[in-house]
């Protein structure tokens, strides 16, 4: 592949590593956005999908 591009062997490795870093950061950012979205709407999710709640949720907590 490097020969076809006329580059060194290191260039595709650096490009792959850089692409992986970008992908990892994007996934991390996406997960954080989803976490904030879900936390902000947790009560709505519980109301909409009560059957998905684990047993005992809310027990022992002050109302």
2-47 pLDDT, tens digit per residue, is 788 888 889 889 999 999 999 999 999 999 999 999 999 999 999 9
Among 24, 50, 4, CA closest to 12: 4
Residue 58 has pLDDT above 60, yes or no: no
| Per-chain mean pLDDT for the chain | 87
Please report the pLDDT score of residue 63 as a whole number. 44
- Structure tokens of 34? 């989803």
CB 57 within 8 A of CB 49: no
């Amino acid at each position: 592949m490097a020969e076809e591009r006329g580059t060194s062997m290191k260039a595709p490795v650096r490009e792959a590593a850089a692409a992986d870093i970008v992908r990892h950061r994007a996934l991390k950012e996406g997960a954080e956005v989803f976490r904030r979205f879900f936390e902000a709407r947790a009560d709505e999710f519980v109301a909409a999908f009560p059957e998905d709640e684990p047993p005992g949720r809310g027990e022992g907590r002050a109302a």
